Structure 1
Amino acid sequence: MYLHVQRLINEIIPDEPDPAAANALQEGLGGQFGEMRTMMQYLFQSINFRGPAGKPYKDLLQGIGTEEISHVELIGTTISRLLDGSPRYQGKKTDPLDQPGAGGKTPLEIATHQSNIHHYLVAAQGALPVDAAGNPWSGSYVYNSGNLVLDLLYNLMLESTGRLQKCRIYEMTDNKTARSTISYLIVRDQAHENAYAKALETLGVDWKKTLPIPKTNAEQFPEVKKLLDLGLQSKQYSFDLTSQSEAGKIFRGMSPSNDGTELDATEQAPAGVPMTIAEERFEEFAPGADPELLALIQATADIEMAEVQPVYGPIPPAS
């Protein structure tokens, strides 16, 4: 069972729209080594896990897989922010929607010659479950052999490749919005590398000879170094409200990264940062809600919020 806390796992720094950077980030979301892949792979491995004695390993997969859900949310929201307003529509909010933007340019003209046209044509300036070339995400990416050692080795390779690709994406743009998210994911990929490397060590696998973690020297990126100095590469969260996770039996001791840090699995979840909802995009007819519809939306929200009970677990019977 999953609960959603309405906070982003990391802050997205505001900057100018950048549709090219948004499309590059699509690889980190829906590519073969992207966040949708890691999310689905680890969750399926944990769902299909066999062997009660191996519960700490199942819990480790579950915790990392749950974190990857938040990474999908983070990188998808970042792509949306990079696209939001990227056509630089300068018309007034009171103008008819079929009027061109300032200077005689049509509002979505940018979509015909820059980046991924589907960001505008299909997604209303939002993220898509595709890679940077527009190929749809595929469930065939998911590796779940049922063999613990094979799965852990594959996961270590997946995190290493994902971090390598994100370092390349970082080098493609200096946009602060893009880099704030890319840097965070680079560091968290390293934390997950440490988790799978440590798990393999506990199983007697000399992974350093089998699969050396690539040296990306990501600490040269100032945003990454700031997070490394905080030790974020050596933390792992359980996302377990009941405190029954046994992943801490594995994620402990000195870091396999040999950076002098000690692994820490004492936190259930990071604090996160407040979430905001993007402004309307009139040139996209999004959300397309006129005053009457907005009034209905608010009325529905009032009803729903009045029925919400701030409890976890079974709802107490009515007296």
Structure 2
Amino acid sequence: MYFHVQNLIHDIAQDEPDPAAANALQEGLGGQFGEMRTMMQYLFQSMNFRGPAAKPYRDLIQGIGTEEISHVELIGTTISRLLDGSPRYNGKPTDPLDTPGAGGATPLNIALDTSNIHHYLVGAQGALPVDAVGNPWSGSYVYNSGNLVLDLLYNLMLESTGRLQKCRIYEMTDNKTARSTLSYLIVRDQAHENAYAKALETLGVDWNKLLPIPKTNAEKFPEVKKLVDLGLQSKQYTFDLTGLSEAGKIFRGMSPSKDGTTLDASEQAPEGVPIVIAEERFEEFAPGLDPELLKLIQATADIELNEIDNMFGPVADTKPSAAEKPADTKKPAAPKKAAASKK
């Protein structure tokens, strides 16, 4: 089972909209080496895994695959924010075709020459499951051979190529929104490279000669260096509520990146940041809930509550009154929280 915490895995910096950068990021989302690919590949490998004695390897692949779900959410949200507000006009509820403030331009004229027109025609200024030239994401990208060594080698190559592409996209834009997400994904790709490299080492594979990790020198990017200095490239999360993951049997010891850090798989999940839902886009005819629909929703809720009251009686107020409260209101100890990454 999978559980969703309503946090983004990493904060997204605020900057001006940049639809061209949004389209470049589509490669990191729906391209052949993008986050949708890694998510699906690792989840299929873990679902199809065979051999109970090799459970630590399955748990490692599954934990990374689960993290990739949050990466899809992060990069998709970033693309949406880079599009949201372009071209600095979001209409009025009373007149979605009102003349925009920036030079009297047509509200969506930017879609014709600056970006992927499908972001405006199909996606209402949101991310799409496509690459940077508009090709739909394909399930044929997924590699699942059933052979552990082959799968680990392929996964290492996939993470290496994905990190290389993100470094290239970083060099294409100076937009803070885009770079904050790219930097985080570059560092986490390195962590996943370390995981698959370490797994291969435990199987006696001399991967360093066979398939060296590309030296991207990504630490020259200030946002990346900040995260590397925190050791984020040497952490791997279990995303396991039961505490049964055995991935830590593999992800330990000195890092294959040879940066002097020690691998750490002791944390369940990073802390994350609150999710903020974007405002309506009237020029895209995407207004959200209109007043009539809100009234209908409230009326439906009232009917359902009345049915419950008629069947079971009024729901009692469980909060004690002041008179009912005991004199000693000593607060009980809070339950222990799962380990979270420190910022």
Q: What's the TM-score, normalizing by structure 2?
A: 0.86
| Cα distance in structure 1, aligned partners of 2:90 and 2:146 | 55
Q: Where do 1:1-319 residues align within 5 Å?
A: 1-89=1-89, 91=91, 93-102=92-101, 103-297=103-297
| Cα distance in structure 1, aligned partners of 2:301 and 2:52 | 43
**Matching residue of 2:325:** none
1:294 CA drift (Å): 2.9
Give unpaired runs (5+ residues) of structure 2: 309-314, 316-343
Q: How many residues align?
A: 305
| Cα distance in structure 2, aligned partners of 1:279 and 1:162 | 31
| Cα distance in structure 2, aligned partners of 1:231 and 1:299 | 52
| Cα distance in structure 2, aligned partners of 1:227 and 1:167 | 15
Matched to 1:87, the amino acid is P
| Cα distance in structure 1, aligned partners of 2:301 and 2:151 | 44
1:104 CA drift (Å): 3.3
1:94 CA drift (Å): 4.6
**Matching residue of 2:321:** none
- Equivalent residue of 1:104, what SS? coil
- Equivalent residue of 1:196, what SS? helix
| Cα distance in structure 2, aligned partners of 1:300 and 1:63 | 40
| Cα distance in structure 2, aligned partners of 1:298 and 1:250 | 52
- Equivalent residue of 1:38, what SS? helix
Residues 88-142 of structure 1: per-residue CA shift (max 9 Å, x gap):
2275x25412334234322111111111000000000000000000000000000
1:285 CA drift (Å): 1.1
Q: Runs of 4 or more off by more than 3 Å in structure 1?
A: 295-304
**Are the aligned partners of 2:235 and 2:264 in contact in 1 as well (CA < 8 Å)?**
yes
Give unpaired runs (5+ residues) of structure 1: 308-319
Distance 1:297 1:192, change over 3 A: farther
| Cα distance in structure 1, aligned partners of 2:241 and 2:88 | 44
Q: CA RMSD in A?
A: 1.8
Distance 1:255 1:297, change over 3 A: farther
| Cα distance in structure 2, aligned partners of 1:178 and 1:196 | 27
Matched to 2:138, the amino acid is S
- Equivalent residue of 2:171, what SS? helix
Q: What's the TM-score, normalizing by structure 1?
A: 0.92
Larger radius of gyration: 2
| Cα distance in structure 1, aligned partners of 2:139 and 2:8 | 26
- Equivalent residue of 2:120, what SS? helix
- Equivalent residue of 1:172, what SS? coil
Residues 6-35 of structure 1: per-residue CA shift (max 9 Å, x gap):
000000011100000000000000000000
Distance 1:298 1:242, change over 3 A: farther
**Matching residue of 1:316:** none
Matched to 1:250, the amino acid is I
